Amino acid sequence: MLKPGAVLKMPTLGVRVEIRRTGAETGGELVEFDVVGRARGFLAQPHVHPGQSERHEVIEGGMRLVVGRRSTLLRPGETAEVPPGVRHRQLPAGDGPGRVRVQVRPAGRSEAFLARLATIDAAGAFARSGYPRPLAAAGLVLDFGDVGHAAFPPPAVQRALAGAVMWTSSREYAFLDEWHVAAPREAVFAALADARSYPLWWRPVYIEADADGEPAVGAVSRQHFKGRLPYHLRTRTRITRFEPPRAITAEVEGDLRGRGAWTLAEALGGGTHVSFQWTVNADRPLLRMLTPLLRPAFRWNHEWAIARAMEGLEPYARRLASEPPAQRAA
């Protein structure tokens, strides 16, 4: 759950989103956020919000709001509202970055949608054009069609195409998990970055883990883990993105092949918002063969494993935060 003051970075889309008021804070009446930058790609396409209105107020720069066939140039201090179910798009105007304050009524699941966009961006699932890659796009259609959808083709066709993409990617598993950890972001990052610590707090999932050295770009670690289903997995990971204390991405090979991305944001009032995107293919022959039949069981297995992470990460990170620096390094 996002909190006021949270910042969601979406550099591939050309913006960052600053949360001002949340649905929890307003009793579900609205969510308010500032979009800062120059929106491009996915954010600038014509789209529809089936059950929500949008109010736009330009704070800095300019924005061209196209509602149906009518185009309006908004300058600082000017506002416009888009009713539910109406096709529209927002385009940057003028030079340089802008700041547009947006209110969405009712709040609905808008915050979860924005958080998903930031997670997809952090995981590299947006192409350079600013549009999501097929699997990420299919996930957005299937998970957030009630929040918003492209103006064309019709929603039913979009859902059918998204389902087809998921089916043709039947050996791929894409999971997104988010939760709040009542511990400082630096300590949470330290726990997640060092794979050698996983058997200490992510139990009983992780059985063994070792690494060639301290976490950094290029560092390699090896894992042996299991879930509730009767099989063990062994993987090798290499860190490809390391930005303390905000983001870690690693490429995975072995019995699973793909990518894992952790994104951490400070939560207003303390603690850390943790987002984990896990996109992998099952490379073990038996897993590949059974994937179409057992996908629900594999998802249940993943959810069980993530629940164990939620249980163990917070107390471990809080202990790390309470230790003197010298002891923590040891």
- Asked whether residue 162 falls in the same domain as residue 199, the answer is no
* Assigned domain for 2 exists: no
- Asked whether residue 183 falls in the same domain as residue 57, the answer is no
- Asked whether residue 212 falls in the same domain as residue 94, the answer is no
CB-based contacts of 150: which residues, under 8 Å, 6+ apart? 45, 46, 47, 48, 158
* Assigned domain for 1 exists: no
Alpha-carbon gap, residue 8 to 113, rounded angstroms: 11
Total of domains in the chain: 2
- Asked whether residue 177 falls in the same domain as residue 143, the answer is no
Residue-number span of the structural domain to which 106 is assigned: 7-168
Tokens 């791929």 appear where? Answer: 172
- Asked whether residue 46 falls in the same domain as residue 163, the answer is yes
- Asked whether residue 181 falls in the same domain as residue 321, the answer is yes
Walk along the chain (330 residues) and give the pLDDT tens digit of each residue.
688 999 999 999 999 999 999 999 999 999 999 999 999 999 999 999 999 999 999 999 999 999 999 999 999 999 999 999 999 999 999 899 999 999 999 999 999 999 999 989 988 899 999 999 988 899 899 999 999 999 999 999 999 998 877 765 556 678 899 999 999 999 999 999 999 999 999 999 999 999 999 999 999 999 999 999 888 999 999 999 999 999 999 999 998 889 999 999 998 888 999 999 998 877 666 555 555 556 677 788 899 999 999 999 999 999 999 987 655 555
Alpha-carbon gap, residue 314 to 154, rounded angstroms: 44
Angle at 18 between CA 12 and CA 23, to 5 degrees: 120
Query: Which of 253, 260, 1, 14 has its CA nearest to residue 107?
Result: 1
- Asked whether residue 31 falls in the same domain as residue 144, the answer is yes
- Asked whether residue 32 falls in the same domain as residue 97, the answer is yes
Q: Is the pTM of this model over 0.85?
A: no
Alpha-carbon gap, residue 242 to 35, rounded angstroms: 26
* Contact by Cβ (8 Å): 13, 121: yes
Alpha-carbon gap, residue 289 to 284, rounded angstroms: 9
- Asked whether residue 103 falls in the same domain as residue 159, the answer is yes
